[in-house]
Amino acid sequence: MANTQSMTTSFMGELLTATHNFGTAPIRAVSTADTFRAALYLVSATINASTTVYSSTGEVTGTGYSAGGIVVTNATPPTATNASATAGVAFFTPSASLTYTSVTLTTAFDAVLIYNASQSNKAVSVHTFGSQTITAGTFTLTMPANTTTTALLRLATT
């Protein structure tokens, strides 16, 4: 047997469920999963890794779309998997597509912001795609497979 230096895979998975706190954390009234939302942003907007919180600035507007976007379906909890003594992945993917039904969004948009509506709308991730407009139609964002290599959110050690 031998010891091997690594950040533990279980720790990474527990980061996704707010188990550890090295600083000052919000007080949680419940232990259930938070509510996450998905908002669409115009091509002209600037959302990226420095985005800290949801903002309506640069968000799409149009018939059938409400500011703040839609709720992300979250039926599958995060998973943490070891690949070796030093490598592991914690990952999470929403359990359903993001579907904006019966909308008209005539100004081009190319990004979606996932944010935590239960924690002061704090930002989680930004995902971009080719520029789109929608006219009296439906915009659907289908999630990637929930695996160690393709999940929507992945934390990994190598």
Which residues, numbered 55-114, are part of the site for another protein (CB under 8 A)? 102, 104
Residue 3 class from Cβ within 10 Å (0-12 exposed, 13-18 middle, 19+ buried)?
Answer: exposed
Tell me whether residue 120 or residue 135 sits nearer to another protein (CB atom): 135
Residue 80 class from Cβ within 10 Å (0-12 exposed, 13-18 middle, 19+ buried)?
Answer: buried
Least CB distance to another protein at residue 124 (A): 11
Beta strand 88-92 with 153-157: parallel, antiparallel or unpaired? antiparallel
Tell me the site size for another protein, rule CB under 8 A. 34
Q: What angle do CA 52, 148, 28 make, to 5 degrees?
A: 40
- Comparing CA positions, the residue from 24, 56, 63 lying closest to residue 39 is 56
Query: By rule CB under 8 A, what string of x and - marks binding of each residue 110-129 to another protein?
Result: ---------------xxxxx
| C-alpha neighbours within 13 Å on the C-beta side of residue 95 | 7
Query: By rule CB under 8 A, what string of x and - marks binding of each residue 10-39 to another protein?
Result: --x---------------------------
SS3 14: helix
46 contacts another protein (rule: CB under 8 A): no
Stretch that binds another protein, among 25-33, 53-61, 66-74, 140-148 (CB under 8 A): 140-148
Q: In this structure, how many other beta carbons lie within 10 angstroms of the beta carbon of residue 104?
A: 13
The single residue among 6, 73, 81, 148 that binds another protein, judged by CB under 8 A, is: 6
141 contacts another protein (rule: CB under 8 A): yes
Residues that bind another protein (CB under 8 A): 5-7, 12, 102, 104, 125-130, 132-144, 150-158
